[in-house]
Structure 1
């Protein structure tokens, strides 16, 4: 049996957020399904994203959906961690995620355990932990 953990993010604008991740991390949007593809969806929700799949960073998949019937709330209870085998790739991802109003929570720098580590809160409210292998 094979199991794969795929982050599923709730978003206020899934297309825009996925596009930001493609720009910041590389990759591409694989599929988009709207609530309008489901029978009985109210007119106001027809174009909202029910399910979006985006592939980024060496095969990582992220699923997304737009909030249906409520606002998205953010917190620090879950962070996404990307681990790289070199500092150049880690720096590019860190800088990309910090663009357009991201907030650096902890600068990407060499740590006492021998690896680079940093945290950035992106413009969409998602905390990313960027690290290199030690």
Structure 2
């Protein structure tokens, strides 16, 4: 099984946090998608960051997303795995969800990728992505 691991942060202010990291480490925003692109999202949440990909400090990737509620310090870190093969992404989703919680089902999303999210038995949030 092969995958690329990309850290992501669940933030109360993803845009502000990204600006801080860019100022502190150098870098740029590569992708910024808001929850407004999701059908049926309430207007109050439409400007929240769904996915923001940063390149920092000479090529390191980091992903940020806005939280929908206050996040206790220390619980705002998760891991994102981007797979080359859909079967591997599905297997990782199944394996990591054992003893944990399936937060978002692994399925084709409106933006064209397969995506799923689980919280493992230790409380770590994992995102699985396959872009075919």
Q: Is structure 2 residue 70 aligned with structure 1 residue 71?
A: yes
Q: After superposition, where does 1:2-81 map in structure 2 within 5 Å?
A: 2-68=2-68, 70-75=69-74
Does structure 1 conserve the Cα–Cα contact (< 8 Å) formed by 2:10 and 2:76? no
TM-score normalised by length of structure 1:
0.53
- Please tell me whether Structure 1 or Structure 2 has the larger radius of gyration of its CA atoms: 1
User: Higher strand proportion, which one?
Assistant: 2
Report the 3-state secondary structure (helix = DSSP H, G, I; strand = E; otherwise coil) of the residue aligned with 2:71: coil
Q: RMSD between aligned alpha carbons?
A: 2.0
What are the Cα deviations for residues 35-89 of structure 1, in whole angstroms up to 9, with x where unaligned? 1111100011010001100100121000010002x211212897xxxxxxxxxxx
TM-score normalised by length of structure 2:
0.53
Report the 3-state secondary structure (helix = DSSP H, G, I; strand = E; otherwise coil) of the residue aligned with 1:63: strand
CA positional deviation for 1:3: 3.0
Q: Which structure's relative contact order is higher, taking Cα pairs within 8 Å and 6+ residues apart?
A: 2
Distance 1:77 1:54 in 2: 17
Task: Say if 1:45 and 1:63 are closer, same or farther in 2 by CA, change over 3 A.
Answer: same
| Greater than 6 Å deviation, 4+ residue runs | none
